Structures are given as C-alpha cells and as structure tokens.
Amino acid sequence: MEHTYLLQQANATQDSIERMKCVAAFAVSAVASQWERTGKPFNPLLGETYELVREDLGFRLISEQVSHHPPISAFHAEGLQQDFVFHGSIYPKLKFWGKSVEAEPKGIITLELLKHKESYTWTNPTCCVHNIIVGQLWIEQYGNMEITNHSKKKLCSLYGKWTECMYVVEPAAFEAHKKSDKKTPEEKKNKSGGEEQEEVPSPSTDTVQMIPGSQLLWRIAPRPPNSTQMYSFTSFAMQLNELHKDMEGLIPPTDCRLRPDIRAMENGDIDHASEEKKRLEEKQRASRKNRSKSDEEWKTK
C-alpha cells in the first residue's frame, strides 16, 4: 500500500491504457518491498488481523490470516473516496530445492477502479531465496506477471463435455445453475482418489445437465455398434478410406486410399496387407538411400 498514489493516478486519468500502466506499476511496486529482506519471516498466527487507516494516503485496509496450513493471508483495502477497492490473498506455495527455497504465489489479487467500472487481476511473481544453507542469502523474483482487464462484460457461458456436447447460455443463468448444482463433498472426495488406480470413467456417467435457456452448439453422434472392432472409429472415420469409382483418376497417385496394403486391410486380407506393407517400406528405404547418394533433395509436391 506504500505506493497507493499510483492507484489515485490511475483513477485520475481518462485513458484506460494509461490507467492500466499505473496498475501494472502498482502491482510491481508491491514486490519491491521484499528487496534485501532475507530475514526469517514472522508468520502471522491463524486468525491474526491487521487493520490500518491512513487518511493522509487515502486508504484503509484490513487483513487476516485465514489459513494456518498452508499459510494464507487475505486482505481488503479501499480508497477513502470510493475510488478503488483492492483485495486478494497471499498464498505462497513453498518448494525446497536444497540450496534455495522458492515461493510460488497461488493467491489472486484484484483491483477495481470503481469510477471507471474496471477490474484488474494479477498474481505476484515467483520469489526465490538463494543460498539457504551456505553463502549469502539473496532474493530473486521471476516469472510473468500478467495484468488482466476484466471489465469486458461476460457475453455468454459455454459448458459441456468433450465426449458429449457443448451448450451456450446467458452468464446469469449459468452462475445461478452453478450455485444450485454444487457437488456433495462426498462425491468430490471419491473423485480425488487415493492410492489406487484411477478408473477410466465411462462417457455415459456424469452426463451434461442442460441449463434452461441454453442453446445446443454441438452434440456427438453415437458410435456405430461395431466401432470397437474398427479402431473405435466413428461412422465418419470409417468412411474415410473408402475408394469410390468416381475418385479413380481424380485423386493423385500419392493418396493413401491407393496404398495396396491399406486396401488389402480394408478388404480384410491381413496376410496380403502385411506383405504389401513390408514391400512398400523396403522400397521407401531404398529410395532414401538413393537420394543420400546424390545431391537431390526431397521436395514436397
């Protein structure tokens, strides 16, 4: 909050791009406070809070340690003139690498510029403390920090399942449905699985429930009954290798439908298919050998 003036600067400008620049500077400026602060952190206790009102700087803030394990702090700040709301969580995921410790930020930070009806989010960069065993401690911050402008109104919500269908619906209807359709904790627990193998889910379990008012964009056609004997092809895929009379002379000689081994396989003559495949592959090897003897390069057609 040391650089809150950047938010006031953002509020004061009428150009959205200029505002976003100020927001980006504000986001990075917060990280700067960690420079050379390699001391052991003084971790807040669970439920510990911190409250601050700075009339001179134009903001008030409250924060709370909301989780002990993993340690997570939540905060909420507001401009005293209703110019901004700034909130988020600090949730560093620690990884020990032997000589260094890395804190990957999991918390999302949100800034709302109320007068401009703009909302920005970002995540802090990864922070690494080097030389935790021997040598001098030092801090490195790295990774991308992407500031996202969320003010663009949600136009529609898409939902569905890749093995089944896809719908589009009004965002409000989708949100309302999501609230009423919370999975029971028991179901969730079972899904996360234990030590055992995860069973392959059947596409027919957990079928997509249509939200009223939705428009169907796509639905998969059922597979033909003999699909499993045909490489689990769909009817469409099964037709792809068919060679129709009217294609002959029209499709180029390189077309895969003309491969004799594929033809034999399509006709159920596996022995012949296998012989032909061997012959073709040997021919291909010889042709490659020929090319390597000359300067001739393979050219695509």
Ligand X SMILES: *[C@@H]1O[C@H](CO)[C@@H](O)[C@H](O)[C@H]1NC(C)=O
Contact pattern from residue 242 through residue 261 relative to ligand X, giving x for each residue in contact according to CB under 6 A and a dash for the rest: --------------------
3-state secondary structure of 173: helix
Q: Closest by alpha carbon to 28, among 9, 2, 57?
A: 2
* Alpha-carbon span 207 to 158, nearest angstrom: 16
Residue 248 beta carbon to ligand X: minimum distance, rounded to whole angstroms: 20
- Assess 12 for contact with ligand X (CB under 6 A): yes
Of the candidates 1, 3, 16, 28, which one interacts with ligand X according to CB under 6 A? Answer: 16
* Alpha-carbon span 208 to 229, nearest angstrom: 28
Residue 9 in tokens: 């600067």
Residues 6+ apart with CB under 8 A from 295: none
- Assess 220 for contact with ligand X (CB under 6 A): no
3-state secondary structure of 140: strand
Residue 224 beta carbon to ligand X: minimum distance, rounded to whole angstroms: 4
- Assess 187 for contact with ligand X (CB under 6 A): yes
Of the candidates 17, 133, 134, 221, which one interacts with ligand X according to CB under 6 A? Answer: 17
- Assess 67 for contact with ligand X (CB under 6 A): no
Contact pattern from residue 262 through residue 301 relative to ligand X, giving x for each residue in contact according to CB under 6 A and a dash for the rest: ---------------------x--xx--x-----------
* Alpha-carbon span 238 to 116, nearest angstrom: 56
Please state, in angstroms and as integers, the Cα–Cα distance from residue 212 to each residue in 8, 165, 168, 171, 219, following that order: 44, 15, 11, 12, 17
- Assess 115 for contact with ligand X (CB under 6 A): yes
Residue 225 beta carbon to ligand X: minimum distance, rounded to whole angstroms: 7
DSSP character at residue 245:
G
Residue numbers at the binding site for ligand X (CB under 6 A): 8, 11-12, 16-17, 20, 79, 81, 83, 115, 118, 149, 151-152, 186-187, 190, 224, 226, 229-230, 238, 283, 286-287, 290
